[in-house]
């Protein structure tokens, strides 16, 4: 055999091997679409009418879900808990005709020893993107609600949103949000501000409605990507899409290490340079002292979902693992089921279908096959599917779109089948 024939034979073998592996994974995805009922069990839920924006929060023994229902010109915020295999009767937290309703900026909900916090956004002026983040608090001690509390106190008619919340201490919460107070003088629109940049701020919120002074965590961040946060040993660890002076918008983390918040550090330098906000934030989860972050990037016009693990409370992260198989829309969520194993969800297109996918991934890079939770719409109205662990069970919630009508689906997912 000549040298050139040998090289050609080796090259052909590699191509066939890679093609077979890729085809095997794609066939598995197609198969899972047909057999998803073995893994995904739809749950009857208490949402009704034109409902969207589900948000899940789980504890060791309870699952919470908040959502918004639109009734004519009125927006109504509800929550329910999943107990003994079924959702409880929904509780109406608040309602209004002047709320800012956005497909990507959904209410946050959290619980801490019976104390509950739920957020919403209320317009503060006539501008398109002038709104405040409001909180509603239920006190386990007094068994009463305090509602319509401003999360921030800057007094500017500017953007405030993309709130994330984690329990803190025995009865309090730590909240972070994107804050537009420094953009007020700017003439630019949502997602492309000028010299006055969007900032990331945080503060401690107590169950009685009192709060510690807010803290600027980063003075220049991406304008409209979701924030995300977890807690390790009662210390917040948060991720968000940063924004450099050269318009590189990668995912960064800030942690409460040794009783003070750290400087911002990139999870990984994708070096995605994009002049406007992609509206596609990260997700973070933790298990004991380990953490995992999932995120979307489209650097070099190559959309992908990536996952990175940390074994030191989020101080450093390993190299990213690519998750998606087909062209992805991102819209990620992630949970951890052990110190070295995560389950991630994302959306991607397969032919004419848009799929909500879920997959188990280990820190060593070992992957399960993607399982399709549901077909969905690629439209913005389909929002961001949610994953959550409550006890030892995995749950999902997502928005279905039928013309102008939206509805919410919920499901339990068999972890052993992933």
pLDDT tens-digit series, residues 229-286? 999 999 999 999 999 999 999 999 999 999 999 999 999 999 999 999 999 999 999 9
Q: What is the Cα–Cα distance from 357 to 318, expressed in whole angstroms?
A: 23
Q: Are 183 and 206 in contact (CB under 8 A)?
A: no
- What's the DSSP call for residue 102? B
Look at residues 219, 245, 304 and name the one whose alpha carbon lies nearest to residue 270.
304
Concatenating the DSSP letter of every residue in 34-46 gives HHGGGTEEEE--S
Q: Are 239 and 293 in contact (CB under 8 A)?
A: yes
pLDDT tens-digit series, residues 329-349? 999 999 999 999 999 999 999
Q: Which helix (H) or strand (E) holds 404?
A: none
pLDDT of residue 185: 60
What's the fold here for domain 25-417? Neuraminidase (2.120.10)
Helix (H, G, I), strand (E, B) or coil at 411: strand
Tokens representing 299 are 């650097």
CA separation, residue 257 to residues 174, 233, 261, 275, 311 (Å): 15, 10, 6, 32, 14
In the structure, what pLDDT confidence band is assigned to residue 25 with cuts at 50, 70 and 90?
A: very low
pLDDT of residue 127: 83
In the structure, what pLDDT confidence band is assigned to residue 106 with cuts at 50, 70 and 90?
A: very high
Look at residues 358, 157, 192, 170 and name the one whose alpha carbon lies nearest to residue 276.
192
Pairing of strands 321-322, 63-71: unpaired
pLDDT tens-digit series, residues 364-398? 999 999 999 999 999 999 999 999 999 889 999 99
Q: What is the Cα–Cα distance from 68 to 75, expressed in whole angstroms?
A: 6
Q: What is the pTM of this model?
A: 0.90
Question: At which residue do the structure tokens 């990260």 appear?
Answer: 282
Q: Which helix (H) or strand (E) holds 378?
A: none
Q: Are 408 and 399 in contact (CB under 8 A)?
A: yes
Report domain extents, the chain.
25-417
Mean pLDDT within 308-331: 97
* Residue 35 predicted with pLDDT over 50: no
pLDDT tens-digit series, residues 108-151? 999 999 999 999 999 998 888 999 999 999 999 999 999 999 99
Nearest 5°: the CA angle 386, 280, 246 is 155
In the structure, what pLDDT confidence band is assigned to residue 314 with cuts at 50, 70 and 90?
A: very high
Concatenating the DSSP letter of every residue in 362-377 gives ETTS-B---EEEEEE-
Q: What is the Cα–Cα distance from 134 to 124, expressed in whole angstroms?
A: 11
Q: What is the Cα–Cα distance from 46 to 82, expressed in whole angstroms?
A: 10
CA separation, residue 34 to residues 7, 27, 240, 325, 410 (Å): 41, 11, 36, 18, 19
What's the order of all strands across the beta sheet hosting 40-43? 40-43, 405-413, 393-402, 386-390
Q: Which residues face 172 on adjacent strands?
A: 168
Q: Are 264 and 249 in contact (CB under 8 A)?
A: no
* Straight-line distance from the first to the last Cα atom of the chain, in angstroms, rounded to the nearest whole number: 46
CA dihedral 94, 99, 105, 111 (to 10 degrees): -20
In the structure, what pLDDT confidence band is assigned to residue 414 with cuts at 50, 70 and 90?
A: very high
């Amino acid at each position: 055999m000549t040298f050139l024939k040998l090289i050609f034979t080796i090259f052909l073998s590699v191509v066939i091997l890679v093609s077979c592996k890729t085809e095997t994974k794609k066939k598995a995805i197609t198969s899972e679409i047909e057999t998803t009922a073995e893994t995904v069990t739809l749950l009857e839920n208490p949402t009704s009418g034109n409902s969207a924006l589900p948000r899940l929060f789980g504890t060791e023994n309870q699952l919470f879900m908040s959502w918004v229902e639109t009734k004519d010109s009125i927006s109504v915020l509800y929550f329910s808990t999943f107990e003994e295999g079924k959702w409880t009767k929904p509780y109406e937290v608040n309602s209004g005709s002047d709320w800012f309703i956005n497909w990507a900026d959904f209410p946050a909900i959290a619980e801490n020893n019976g104390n509950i916090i739920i957020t919403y956004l209320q317009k503060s002026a006539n501008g398109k993107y002038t709104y405040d983040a409001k909180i509603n608090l239920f006190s386990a001690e007094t068994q009463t609600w305090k509602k319509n509390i401003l999360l921030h106190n800057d007094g500017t008619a500017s953007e405030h949103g993309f709130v994330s919340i984690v329990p803190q201490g025995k009865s309090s919460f730590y909240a972070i949000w994107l804050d537009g107070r420094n953009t007020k003088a700017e003439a630019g629109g949502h997602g492309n501000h000028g010299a006055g940049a969007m900032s990331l701020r945080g503060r401690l919120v107590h169950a009685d409605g009192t709060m510690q002074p807010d803290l600027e965590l980063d003075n220049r961040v991406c304008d409209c990507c979701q924030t995300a946060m977890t807690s390790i040993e009662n210390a917040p660890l948060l991720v968000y899409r940063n924004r450099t002076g050269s318009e590189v918008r990668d995912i960064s983390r800030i942690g409460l290490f040794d009783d003070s918040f750290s400087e911002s550090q990139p999870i990984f330098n994708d070096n995605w340079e994009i002049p406007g906000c992609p509206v596609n934030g990260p997700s973070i989860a933790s298990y004991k002292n380990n953490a995992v972050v999932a995120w979307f990037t489209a650097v070099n016009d190559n959309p992908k979902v990536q996952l990175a693990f940390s074994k030191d409370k989020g101080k450093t992260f390993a190299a990213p693992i690519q998750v998606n198989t087909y062209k992805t829309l991102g819209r990620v969520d992630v949970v951890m089921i052990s110190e070295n194993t995560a389950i991630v969800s994302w959306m991607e297109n397969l032919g004419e279908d848009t799929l909500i996918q879920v997959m188990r991934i280990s820190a060593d890079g070992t992957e399960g096959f993607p399982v399709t939770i549901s077909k969905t719409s690629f439209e913005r109205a389909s929002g961001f599917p949610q994953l959550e662990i409550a006890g030892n069970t995995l749950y999902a919630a997502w928005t279905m779109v039928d013309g102008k009508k939206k509805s919410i689906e919920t499901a339990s997912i068999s972890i052993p089948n992933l």
